[in-house]
Amino acid sequence: MKNILLTAINAKYIHSNPAVYSLQAYAAKRGYVASIAEYTINHSVEEILGSIYEHHPDVICFSCYIWNISYVKELVAELYKLRPKLPIWLGGPEVSFCAKELLSEYPQITGIMIGEGEQTFVELCACIENEKSIDGVAGIVWRREDGEIVENPMRELLSMDDLPFCYEKLERFENRIIYYETSRGCPFSCSYCLSSVDKKLRMRSLSLVYPELQFFFDHKVPQVKFVDRTFNCDHGHAMGIWSYLKAHDNGVTNFHFEIAADLLREDELALLETMRPGLVQFEIGVQSTHEPTIHEIRRTMNLDRLSEAVMRVHRANNIHQHLDLIAGLPFEDYETFKKSFDAVYSLRPQQLQLGFLKVLRGSYMYEQAKAYGLLYRDMPPYEVMATRWISYAQMRKLKLVEEMLEVHYNSGQFEAALGILEKQYAHPFDMYEELGAYYVKEDLLERKHSRLARSEIFYAFALKKDPEHAKEYEEALTYDLYIRENAKRRPAWAPDLTPYKKEITNLLRESGLDKRYCHVELFTCGDSPKWVIFDYENRDPWTNHAKLVSYSTES
């Protein structure tokens, strides 16, 4: 039996690579054994190289993505020096659209699996085990012994029901995210996305999906991320799965979905409103609200319907929503992007991801790069630097906005304070833009800041903008700090609570709470000054915020 090694290099340790596990499980069902080696980009090339060498593979296959292709290329070159006769195969989205070019550039590579790989991998295993020619294997580009590069015909797509469930051995995924798919392909044609290349949408039968979901419930898996590109594009499929999740909820497992919010129907929204907080979470790609841009990137999206659905889910207060914007799309300049930002921000998602266009080989955006004046990095992830509509200088300003958004909004660490500061701005975008400029002016960007230090920076910025509400900022920042953790050091502006020691002790006794796991704070802003107990033993299961117990200072 040949030692075939499937190799994955993930972006983080908590990630897993569903592709290699699917290939391994599919091959095992047909009598072929392959082993898996997973690493992260935090490993050095030397570490990975040494580990691969010690596996003593007879054949090695690398799973290739934008985050690891540089590692793979270097490993291919170095591994070939050590094992010049070792067959080296690549597969994955990062190599499927430039296979001939890569084979020409890297003579060490034996071949590349194009597109969907399960059946292709099985046929390659059969040829390897039986020492047969791979001439007839569909879905590969490969190199003959004389050096000729051959492109075999594309392969027919598999039925989703033919794919095995590959999570029976859960110990392999301890402390890692489970990625699960119930569909492949996408019905839409977004020009920046490789999923639009495969127009054949295929669904896994619910009769197979339900017991697999139950497996996750039974084993109390913390989180399952569906990798379906637009999960709710098939109403019956989505309703079936969401209904099952609600009916069998174990109170622990969270399920993540990428959805099109404008496709949500009334019965779906009604069902979602009844779910346990934290049972499901949504990632919603808005990308832009500028109509000419939406049309040009071939998106099908009803913005009014999207906004209505997002706000309705928001009001139910039980589903975390992550909304995405992309900077650098055609026909969107700095001012129109600012409007897109403000429009999405007004929907109050739990997270607003400001991403930057990646010009991916194989996408329509890649084909139109010259027409759009796209300047983008040659190295992965091929991120845009400038377009006909946004200059490089403006893109750098957007990078600052992105960083300020991550630190202050997406972190969830400044909710109360932001609520006050936002009132000073007609446009939320301007607030984050000015915060970024402040960080630059005060030379704060290239430093590591503690949570408390971030609060002090925010306070200093807020006082410059809005000195009349200093006391409100002080108490809001104090609240934001203690709602999440019992900070060891108090902010400089926070009042000395030593004179209230006896009163605090009495409050905790009356509440039946242990002072070791609580913090008591005095808030005097507003009509009725009050004591607030932050109870860290009892947290909101959805936000992880401490439970609050309030007492009037007059009681």
Distance CA 214, CA 210 (A): 6
Q: Which pLDDT score, from 0 to 100, does residue 114 have?
A: 96
User: What per-residue string of b and e applies to 68-81 under the rule 16 or more CB within 10 Å gives b?
Assistant: bbebbbebbebbbe
pTM listed for this prediction: 0.93
Is the distance from CB of 142 to CB of 134 less than 8 angstroms?
yes
Q: What is the 3-state secondary structure (H, E, C) of 132-163?
A: CCCCCCCCEEEECCCCCEEECCCCCCCCHHHC
Distance CA 465, CA 452 (A): 20
Q: Which pLDDT score, from 0 to 100, does residue 526 have?
A: 72
For residue 325, the cross-strand partners are 287, 354
Is the distance from CB of 71 to CB of 90 less than 8 angstroms?
no
Is the distance from CB of 314 to CB of 352 less than 8 angstroms?
no
Q: What is the 3-state secondary structure (H, E, C) of 252-314?
A: CCEEEEEECHHHCCHHHHHHHCCCCCCCEEEEEEEECCCHHHHHHCCCCCCHHHHHHHHHHHH
Q: Which pLDDT score, from 0 to 100, does residue 199 have?
A: 62
Q: Which pLDDT score, from 0 to 100, does residue 332 have?
A: 98
Is the distance from CB of 255 to CB of 231 less than 8 angstroms?
no
Q: Which pLDDT score, from 0 to 100, does residue 342 have?
A: 98
Q: Which residue numbers in the chain have pLDDT < 70?
A: 196-199, 554-555
CA 354 vs CA 212, 341, 390, 550: distances in Å: 34, 8, 15, 37
Q: Which pLDDT score, from 0 to 100, does residue 555 have?
A: 54
